Structure 1
Amino acid sequence: MNRGRPRTFDPEQMLEQAMQVFWQCGYEATSLQDLLAATGLSKSSLYQTYPSKRALFEAALRHYCAQRRRELCERLQAAVSPREFLRSWLLCALEAERAGETPRGCLLVNVASEFSQADPEIAALLRSGIEGLRQVLGEALLRAQACGELDASADVPALAGYLLCVMSGLRIQRKAGASAEMLHAAIEVALGCLR
């Protein structure tokens, strides 16, 4: 039985390249040609791996969520303290500026803005991705309580949700052209709520 030619590309790298295109352009504005150019694949190779643009988009969104959660966990493990981890994470909203790139925002926020709740499958992926981030932030806040950086009576789930809202707002404001100074001030106000 002929199984066809073996893959000559790295599926993880291809997914990363596709994710970057969707992140930059959005789902609707991303064309098949954009994806082929970014991944370097032929149309047949792309469709052998993902049967549609939609299937590739969903896989790219899952990849983004897993990647961001993994990075957040690694940052938390390496942090000097939970509070410094949270400060560092909020400052990520300014990273694109330091790299000299146009701010792209958060892919989760971008997708939520593009799709809203009109698509149940995408909405479920968004909820799952956000919940993964909320769990890591909740762990950081519990650690902050354990070491005395956060009051023992603080509502950890509410604060984790609050910090996600702050980060989403920071990313949107940065995309809209808000100054680094304004965002730094907002970050300090947010951190001031963690007592």
Structure 2
Amino acid sequence: MQVFWQHGYEATSLQYLLAATGLSKSSLYQAYSNKQALFEAAFCHYAEQRSREMRARLLQAPSPLEFLRGWLLSVLDDVGPDGNPRGCMLVNVANEFSQADPAVAELLQRGVERMQRVLREALQRAQACGELNAAADVDALASYLHCVMSGLRTQVKGGAAKPAIEAVVELSMSTLR
């Protein structure tokens, strides 16, 4: 997962995968029929892991809106093993594949839905505790927040300054009040 996340699908060589897994070529191909199958498994693992981590942070947060603020600000701390911002694997894969591969497009859609499900849960909790207007459209807001996060990750990857990111986060949070 880390190798595909850092290098992307096309730039990930067999040598990178063998080094990362510690497997021989034959063992790797016994477990996964080809690079695409390994990539798909790694991507599904990423989406599952991220949504599980998000839900755990939501449950530990002092409030749903504080969870959302922290989640958006987490883009400032997300760096790869090389010290550079790595972006979101969902966004990276969407940019690399676009709609060129129907199987990957379906995986992307499911990954996005997993993330948005946690966002909807946070927004519904915010409504229940009075932090968010009861009439707010949580589906639209979850999509909006996911788009904001995607843009923030792209901006950070492109070198945007911390104060600019923080300003966008605060502006985004103001739409929830």
TM range (shorter): over 0.9
Matches within 5 A, 1:3-42: 19-42=1-24
Q: Which one of 37, 52, 64 corresponds to residue 82 of structure 1?
A: 64
Amino acid at match of 1:67: Q
- Provide, for residues 41-68 of structure 1, a one-character-per-residue CA deviation record: whole Å limited to 9, x for no partner: 1111111111101100000000000000
- Provide, for residues 163-193 of structure 1, a one-character-per-residue CA deviation record: whole Å limited to 9, x for no partner: 0000000000000000011000100000000
Structure 1 residue runs of 4 or more that deviate by more than 4 Å after TM superposition: none
More relative contact order, 1 or 2 (CA 8 Å, 6+ apart): 2
- Find the counterpart in structure 1 of residue 83 from structure 2: 101
Q: How many residues align?
A: 177
Amino acid at match of 2:65: R
- Find the counterpart in structure 2 of residue 184 from structure 1: 166
Q: CA deviation at 1:100?
A: 8.1
Higher Cα Rg: structure 1 or 2? Answer: 1
Computed over aligned residues only, the root mean square deviation of the Cα atoms, in angstroms, reads 1.4
Q: CA deviation at 1:142?
A: 0.5
Q: Secondary structure of 1:96's match?
A: coil
- Find the counterpart in structure 1 of residue 118 from structure 2: 136
Q: CA deviation at 1:159?
A: 0.4
Amino acid at match of 1:65: A
Q: Which one of 31, 56, 59 corresponds to residue 49 of structure 1?
A: 31
Unaligned 5+ residue runs, structure 2?
none
Q: CA deviation at 1:107?
A: 0.2
**What TM-score do the two structures reach when normalised by structure 1?**
0.88
Q: Distance in 1 between matches of 2:62 and 2:118?
A: 16
Unaligned 5+ residue runs, structure 1?
1-18
- Find the counterpart in structure 2 of residue 168 from structure 1: 150
Matches within 5 A, 1:60-79: 60-79=42-61
